[in-house]
Chain A
Amino acid sequence: MIDFDYKKPGSVKEVLSLLKDYGPKATLIAGGTDVMVNMRNRQLSPEVLVSLRGLDDLRYIRKNSGYHIGGLTTHRMLEQSDMVRTELSALHDGASRVGSVQIRNVATIGGNICNAAPSADTAGPLLVLDAVVVLEGPDGRRRVPISEFFTGPSKTVRKQDEVLIEFDIPEEMEGFGSAYWKHSRRKAMDLPILGVAVAVRLADDETVSDVRIGLTVAAPTPIRAYKAEEFLRGKRLNDDVLEEAGKIASSESSPRDSMRGKEWYRRDIIQVFVPRMARLAAERLRNQ
């Protein structure tokens, strides 16, 4: 392995100061399940690794005027949280399907999002939960809606001198049911061929009062299917309506042919799973 130095700051302030000192020579490392592999493959050769693992006060899942999830929260913590399972179900679906127990014990949600793989399993859920990414840099904190966070494969709006602090999920999400489907060939240790997340809120007459649809591996970045959402508002979730919503979502996506699946197959999967996840999200909402 290449030569590098390893810094273990104990506070966000120290992290920011190291990022300033080393500039582009530094790479942040959290759980390391991407960074260590990329370094081994020589895709990454930083002079300095700045570890975030000492920031234990950024490992939390809190409910307080909305939900707050610290950037260093592990996938395992999300998987084992009853609150996440029952109230932020799509995020539970996503986090508990990442890698293996060994990976989930160290891999963080902040790392999953900052690594910005088009296949990130927490991205679709955070999109439909309307999460806001809180970043801290030399000029203080700023808030970026997750729908504006990703700019391309492995690219985000996070600047080199910024650290992801937490995800804020608005209080109104309490009234939603949500679900995420990871379509993959194996149950574990696999990346999705496609990911579909849906969050839905129903009015008393069972019509859709609000809905969000998130798709991953369906475009260069995780995306929302805004036209399909618009179509569903005010309607009942019956077979015909859902089938049409699936078709619209599929037409909004721009998947590509890759080793894991063909474009036409991904489009078909969107058509099939947008209706299924909408039904599951609605069912979970009724059972809350």
Chain B
Amino acid sequence: MKKVSISFTLNGDAVTAEVPVTWTLLRTLREFFELTGPKEGCGAGECGACTVIIDGEAVNSCLYPIPEVEGRTVTTIEGIADSDGTLHPLQNAFLENNGVQCGFCTSGMIMSAKSLLDHKPDPTEDEIRTSIAGNLCRCTGYVQIVEAIEMAAETVKQKG
């Protein structure tokens, strides 16, 4: 199987992956970089567990061919806390507000929410629900997740 060498920015670092040309970004993140935050739920863009941010926009990494990642900037759940370990306001808010049950959807939920807050620091509840409409939680915890995102938006706003 033909391999390719793909260089991009991953969670702030310049990296190069040598992987089969047929791999997706998700498989590369999990199996080459051993970043297991992004999950494979459906593998078909339905569940959002694999959500990462590419050049500022939330995408399903399970549908993203690795050759397309060349030169781009990728952020995963592993890259959003500060380097000193201080959690991102969204991570804190999910913990404080019980926005996590089994945890499988959580990294995708947080990445979708982060993409929203990066574009729109003061979203309405409707905008929050639209932003996570492509992220399925099968523990049925959406109310606490929405409240956690509202809480995080408030924290980000206070910090200015």
Contact B24 A36 (CB under 8 A): yes
| 24 A-B contact pairs sorted by A residue (CB < 8 Å) | A1-B22, A3-B2, A5-B2, A6-B4, A6-B65, A33-B63, A36-B24, A36-B45, A37-B44, A37-B45, A40-B43, A51-B67, A51-B68, A76-B57, A100-B135, A101-B115, A101-B116, A101-B131, A101-B133, A101-B134, A102-B60, A102-B112, A189-B133, A189-B136
A32 part of interface (Cβ distance < 8 Å) = yes
B48 touches A36 (CB 8 A): no
B78 CB–A CB distance under 8 Å: no
Q: Per-residue 0/1 for B62-86: is the Cβ within 8 Å of any A Cβ (1 yes, 0 no)?
A: 1111011010000000000000000
Smallest distance from the beta carbon of B19 to chain A beta carbons, Å? 12
Q: Which of B43, B63, B130 contacts A101 (CB 8 A)?
A: B130
Query: Which of A3, A4, A189: most chain B Cβ within 10 A?
Result: A189
Q: Chain B residues near A32: list those with CB within 8 A.
A: 63-65, 68
Q: Report the Cα distance A279→B41, complex, angstroms.
A: 42
Q: Give bound CA distance, A110 to B25, whole Å.
A: 23
Instruction: Give residues of chain A (184-203) contacting chain B, Cβ–Cβ below 8 Å.
Output: 187-189
Beyond A6-B65, A32-B65, A36-B24, whether A102 also contacts B44 by CB under 8 A is: no
B55 to chain A minimum Cβ distance, whole angstroms, is 10
Cβ of B1 under 8 Å from chain A: yes
A106 contacts the other chain (Cβ, under 8 Å)?
yes
The interface size bin for chain A is 20 to 34
Residues of B within 8 A of A105 (CB): 57-59
B106 contacts A by Cβ under 8 Å = no
* Closest partner residue, chain B, to A76 (CB atom): B57
- The 6 A-B residue pairs with the shortest CB-CB distance in the complex, in nearest-first order: A100-B134, A188-B133, A105-B57, A36-B63, A102-B60, A37-B44
Chain B positions 69-122 with a Cβ under 8 Å from a chain A Cβ? 70, 112, 115-116
Interface presence of A99 (CB below 8 A): yes
Bound state CA distance, A36 and B63, in angstroms?
A: 6
